[in-house]
Amino acid sequence: MNVEISAAAKALREAREFRKPINKISEDYGVVTLNDAYAVADINTRNRLSQGGRISGKKVGLTSASVQQQLGVAQPDFGVLFQDMEYLGGETVPTDTLLQPKIEAEVAFVVGKDLQSETPSYAEFLACLAYALPALEIVDSAIADWKISLADTVADNASCGLYVLGNQPVAIGDLDLHEIGMQLDLNGSVASVGTGAACLGHPLRAAYWLACTMAARGEGLKGGEVILSGALGPMVNIQSGDIIQARMGALGSVSCRLV
């Protein structure tokens, strides 16, 4: 089967532009390997940059066993965050650019200084981080009914949508992120629970996976970038009008209202 990488990238852009989900990229365009899927995502990243977009960080996806089970995949992936995806805790978040949004709570890290493209040791990685924040990630798929393979979500920029950062940074050394608990409430009712251990065993290990993966691609992490380390529990379907709050123990809480 011929792999139509440019055509797949265009189809994903148009799906999001017109808010019309499409069939699997893996089926219609032969994008089945990770290399091809990331090539599709790279085309659309360069397209956004050419139109004035600014990268604000990276996300690690598919780190929770429960989310992997929901979507039928078995390994993490990563996507690129842009500045116009970012909202702060307590703000209203528009949903008019989204297709099939779901939300998850996770730990965000902020990179304090550049981490070079050579594969870092764990200590070097820790030394580059400034602090942690509670975060909400609104994931969104351009693939109809979220019927995705790993290649489909990778090509679709790891199903990035929007993200919400908590207001108060916390020193990483003051947190036990393995044991930290998470409760996500939707309109006042508990909708998802989890722990830091659900995120590749530890949120810092998920973020370190990202640092090593980016280094293997000849890229590094830059000071000021956000790392969304991955879901602490199952994703939750959301819609305009919903009020979301996530509590994460000593890390604090983060909330938003969808409009």
Question: Does residue 19 form part of some domain?
Answer: no
Specify the pLDDT at position 125. 96
- Computed on alpha carbons and rounded to an integer, the radius of gyration of the chain in Å comes to 17
What pLDDT shows up at residue 75? 76
Contacts of 253 (CB under 8 A, 6+ apart): 89, 134, 166, 245, 246, 247
pLDDT tens-digit readout, 65-106 = 766 776 666 778 999 999 999 999 999 999 999 999 999 999
Residue 209 lies in a domain: yes
pLDDT digits (tens, 9 = 90+) for 185-242: 999 999 999 999 999 999 999 999 999 999 999 988 999 999 999 999 999 999 999 9
DSSP string, 54-66: -EEEEEEES-BHH
Closest CA to 149 of 42, 40, 44, 58: 40
What CATH number does the domain containing 179 carry? Answer: 3.90.850.10
Average pLDDT estimate for 149-159: 94
Residue 2 covered by a domain: no
Question: Is residue 102 a part of any domain in this protein?
Answer: yes
Highest mean pLDDT among 61-70, 72-81, 145-154, 249-258: 249-258
Q: Which domain holds residue 242?
A: 55-258
174-190 tens-digit pLDDT: 899 999 999 999 999 99
Question: Residue 37 gets which letter from DSSP?
Answer: H
Contacts of 6 by beta carbon, 8 Å cutoff, 6+ apart = 43
Rounded to whole angstroms, how far apart are CA atoms 235 and 102?
Answer: 6
| pLDDT value at 1 more than 60 | no
DSSP 158-203: GG--EEEE-SS-B-GGG--TTT-EEEEEETTEEEEEEEGGGBTTSH
* pLDDT at residue 255 tops 70: yes
Report the mean per-residue pLDDT for the chain: 94
Closest C-alpha among 1, 21, 3 to residue 156: 21
CB 106 within 8 A of CB 135: yes
Q: Evaluate whether residue 16 is within a structural domain.
A: no
What pLDDT is attached to residue 117?
A: 72
* Token pair 């722990």 in the structure block, residue: 195
The predicted structure's pLDDT at residue 254: 98
Q: How many distinct structural domains can be found in the chain?
A: 1
Q: 46 lies in a domain? A: no
With vertex at residue 148, the alpha carbon angle to CA 73 and CA 42, rounded to the nearest 5 degrees, is 95
Calculate mean pLDDT across residues 29-43.
95
Count the residues in the chain: 259
Task: Report if residue 9 sits inside a domain.
Answer: no
Q: What is the mean pLDDT of residues 16-33?
A: 96
Write down the pLDDT at residue 69. 73
Residue 36 domain-assigned? Answer: no
Query: Cβ contacts of residue 51 below 8 Å, gap of 6+?
Result: none
